Amino acid sequence: MNFEKANTDGVGCSYIKDKEIVIEKYPKSISAILTRGVPFMSHMPHNGWTIVHLRLASHGENKMENTHPFNIGNEFSLCHNGIWSQHDIAKLAMKKWVNFKGETDSEVAGYLLQAIGPKEFLKNVSFSGVFLALDRERGFLDVIKTSGDLKKVNLKAGAFVLASEFDTKEYVDAEEVVPAGWYRYSDIANKIQEEIKIQTYTSYNNYSNGYAAYSTPAYSAVTKVHGQATTSQLLGYPYHETED
């Protein structure tokens, strides 16, 4: 399965080790770094979540500061699939106390999430894609879906995939009820909290086609996820060692 497709503007992953955020990222395609023998995700298998992002740039050039994941105040790492069209106003409001390193809407969203928390973020950010936030202290994963589909697909050995897909044709010039929600998973992938929001969609066309996914366990699960990607792609999966 070719996950990369047009997502060649950057690749990165993040995980928690000894309650510290670890981020590996490159402003290049995943095929480019693997071809060069870069040991990307060499920490796997890993006891805890790992989130992965393949980028198709929408805001900002191809450089390290614009590559996902982002370290948000050393509280959590964040990946985003989608476009948040209102990020300029939020960035203007926060720039007095936030030192933004890049030009992406995703980094701005991360600091807004830090400021107001996932519940308020869900209430106030709409039709902007899917956000993953991996908590440093507790190791849990927040999945905030503001638009698109969110499906759970069970794989072998207890693994599962949560996928968010974006389809321009589905959302342009049509009124849609788009389920949105916040889902919190523990460091061992148990859902421990959720909040659902129903939205009405009317004539909005700021989307590109795309796919986002999160799965468990281990790096090998990446090759088992079924889906096509034409914009930023996210993968996150926890692995917990068990006896064979």
pLDDT tens-place string over residues 160-172: 656 554 444 444 4
Q: What whole-number distance in Å separates Cα of residue 193 and Cα of residue 132?
A: 15
How many domains are there within the chain?
Answer: 1
SS3 letters for 189-208? CCEEEEEEEEEEECCCCCCC
Task: Enter the pTM of the model.
Answer: 0.76
Domain assignment of residue 226, yes or no: yes
* Residue 72 DSSP one-character state: E
Domain assignment of residue 3, yes or no: no
Domain assignment of residue 232, yes or no: yes
Q: What whole-number distance in Å separates Cα of residue 234 and Cα of residue 30?
A: 13
Domain assignment of residue 5, yes or no: no
Domain with 84, as residue range(s), is 10-239
70 with 110: CB under 8 angstroms? yes
What CATH number did the domain enclosing 41 receive? 3.60.20
Domain assignment of residue 108, yes or no: yes
Domain assignment of residue 101, yes or no: yes
Mean pLDDT, the chain cut into blocks of 10 residues (244 residues total): 73 95 94 91 86 83 93 96 91 95 96 96 91 95 81 64 50 44 87 74 37 30 26 43 37
Which pLDDT tens digit goes with each residue over 112-138?
999 999 999 999 998 898 899 999 999
Domain assignment of residue 97, yes or no: yes
Domain assignment of residue 89, yes or no: yes
Q: What whole-number distance in Å separates Cα of residue 5 and Cα of residue 228?
A: 8
Look over the chain and give the mean of its residue pLDDT values, rounded to a whole number: 75
What sign for the dihedral angle of Cα 38, 62, 110, 30?
negative
14 with 51: CB under 8 angstroms? yes
